[in-house]
Each structure stands twice: as structure tokens, then as C-alpha cells.
Amino acid sequence: MTNAADPAIVVVTARPDPGGLTRLFASGVPSLVVTDPGVALAALATKPVDLVLIDAWPGLDAPALIRALRLKPHLAHTSILLIAESDPAEGDPAEARRRGLEAGATDVVLPPLDASDLAIRGRNLIALARAQDAVESQARALTREVERAAAESQEREREIIRRLMLAAEFRDDQAGDHLTRVAGCVLAIADGLGLSEEEGNDIALASTMHDIGKIGVADSILRKPGPLTEPERYEMMQHALRGYRMLHDSPSRLLRLAAEIALTHHERWDGAGYPQGLKGTEIPLPGRITAVADVFDALISARVYKPGWPLERARRFLEEQSGAHFDPDCVAAFLSRWDDVVALVEERPADRAA
């Protein structure tokens, strides 16, 4: 696209009165007239124009100039009008026309020069260039609009997940911000593992849905203040698979990630976890990360049946269970961000009235 101050037409000519050419079709259009192909290339080095008019003269290698112009990406679609030279020694004008078109000229005018013909072609090419500009800027605007809409719908998806998880938390025996702290610990681990910020954010948000399958567990079990019986424990363990079933066939990438975490957050590195008894790296990384974050926060939080552990005790537990319950890399990543974790969880309720 050209600005008002930039030349809309560049004319390369050796004609003694080049003004006659531009006046034909370009009154009011800023133009730059040059007599040297090198100067033309320099003038067109970075900025597109509406039209390049090459008025060939004996000794000018017009096809070479056209090819050099076409090599510049911003001139790939610019209109180039070639006026083939009128030197009879050049031979067949049709041949000159073919060479010009082959080199990349948009159109070739043959001698003898017909002023009105040239004027019409020139104006058409300028109009074409401007229409193309308009189409391209419309396409760019459309792309921006699509990107904005996609970002907005992504933000809405995240917002809905956050709200749903707030609602789910009311039911569970987990004081208020368990999910927020788990997500914070997940972020710390992801960061410690060197995952990208985007990956970390996705896993953190998806991790908030790890226990969503507990919606199907009866209150009498979910809120039971004492130890669970064997059938109750079995019922409770179903939450992993239920959470997976609720989420796994979603078209949303985030919900599918959440399904994977719901299914695998109770797997153990040593293979003694549930529901599938996966071992080591058979457990998807988001599940391994969430396992560390979830257990850690469960330990340090007060529940109806226990007070919260001091942070150092929970830290020792993670260290002891590294390579047993937990992926050693995830534990190491977590401990490498220990100061952040302490700052994050300090505000938790350490004791809780049931």
C-alpha cells in the first residue's frame, strides 16, 4: 500500500520529455521518473507502488530489470507495464512482447506508441493495483478480526471452566481455594520442568478439573469425617474414571487435557496407583505433575478428619516418595521453586472447623 507522500508510479525512461508519459494517465498521481535501472531498483527496494512503467530504450535490458523487481516480495504482484523499445534493429516486436511477459511484466505495449491506448492500460493497471491493495487490507482486517474472536472465545472457555470449578468446590471437603493452590503448584512444577508458559497455563487450568468425577460420589462418602470402608473407598476411586468419561470426548483441547489429568492424577510412578496401574512415563506428564501438586496441597490443608501438615513435613514426604509415588523430575522441579510455593500456600487455612 502506498502513502500519499510516496510515489504511486515509478517511470524508468530515457525519453527527453518523460512528463508526457505520466500526464497521459496519471495526472494527480505522485510519480518518480528515473533514467537509471539501478536507481529504480533502489527506489523500489522497500516500498510497493501502484505501477512501474518501464519505457525501454536500446541498451536497457528490460527483462532483466523486470526479473530483478519481481524478486522483491513486496513487488511480486505490482503492476509492471513495459513499453517495448521502438528500435527496428531489435527485430520482431512480438518477440519483445513475449520476452517482457516471460520476465514478469503485467502488460507490454508495442510501438508505435498509441497515446490513448497507453493511457487506458496505465489507468487500468493503477485501478487494479489499488483494488488489490484494498482486497489485501480487507483480508488483513478479517484475519485480525478472526484472531480477536478466537482469543475471546478461548478466554470465555477458560472463564466458564473457572466458574464451574468454583461451583464444584462448594461440594467437596476442600477448603475454598484447594484448586487455586493446586493450579499454582502445577505452574511452579511446569516452570521448573522448563515447559512453556502456554503449556504451564493449560495444564494448570485443566488440573483444576482433576476431581470433577467426585460430583457422582455421595455426600455421605465425600464428607465422611472418619476413614472409609472398603466399598466406600472403591466408590471414591471411581472419580478418576468418571471425570475422564465426563470430559474425554469434548472438542475442546483443554477439556481433553483435563480428561487425561482426571484419569491419571492418582497413578503412581511405581505403578501402584489407580485406575490403570500405569508406571513411570506411561503416565502422561500432566497427570504426573498434578499428582505432586494435588497430594502436596492435600497434605498441608486441614480436612474434616485431620489438621494441615507443616510445609517442611510435606516437603520431606515428597522427597521420600520421589521415585515411588511421584515422578522424581516433577518433585525436583517442584522443590526448585520451593520459595514460590511457600509464598503461594502460606495463606491457606491450617486448621478447620468442620
Tell me the backbone φ, ψ of residue 79, rounded to 5 degrees: -70, 130
Touching Fe ion, residues 159-218 (CB under 5 A) = 211
Binding segment (CB under 5 A) for Fe ion, from list 18-26, 138-146, 220-228, 286-294:
286-294
165 vs 180: CA distance, rounded Å: 10
Is the Cβ of residue 12 or residue 292 nearer to Fe ion in the bound state? 292
- The CB-of-265 to Fe ion minimum distance in angstroms stands at 6
Is the Cβ of residue 90 or residue 232 nearer to Fe ion in the bound state? 232
- The CB-of-145 to Fe ion minimum distance in angstroms stands at 40
- The CB-of-196 to Fe ion minimum distance in angstroms stands at 25
Is position 267 an interface residue for Fe ion (rule: CB under 5 A)? no
* Torsion sign, CA atoms 253, 254, 258, 264: positive
Is the Cβ of residue 104 or residue 287 nearer to Fe ion in the bound state? 287
Is the Cβ of residue 57 or residue 274 nearer to Fe ion in the bound state? 274
354 vs 346: CA distance, rounded Å: 21
Q: How would you write 245-312 as a 3-class SS string?
A: HHHCCCCCHHHHHHHHHHHHCCCCCCCCCCCCCCCHHHCCHHHHHHHHHHHHHHHHCCECCECCCCHH
Burial of 71 (0-12, 13-18, 19+ CB in 10 A): exposed
- The CB-of-320 to Fe ion minimum distance in angstroms stands at 20
316 vs 309: CA distance, rounded Å: 11
302 vs 318: CA distance, rounded Å: 18
The 210-229 contact track toward Fe ion, x by CB under 5 A, reads -x------------------
Touching Fe ion, residues 114-133 (CB under 5 A) = none
Is the Cβ of residue 85 or residue 294 nearer to Fe ion in the bound state? 294
Binding segment (CB under 5 A) for Fe ion, from list 32-40, 59-67, 154-162, 294-302:
294-302
Is the Cβ of residue 177 or residue 202 nearer to Fe ion in the bound state? 177
Interface residue with Fe ion among 294, 311, 321, 333 (CB under 5 A) is: 294
Q: Nearest-CA neighbor of 172 among 221, 100, 117?
A: 221
Which residues bind to Fe ion, rule: CB under 5 A? 211, 294
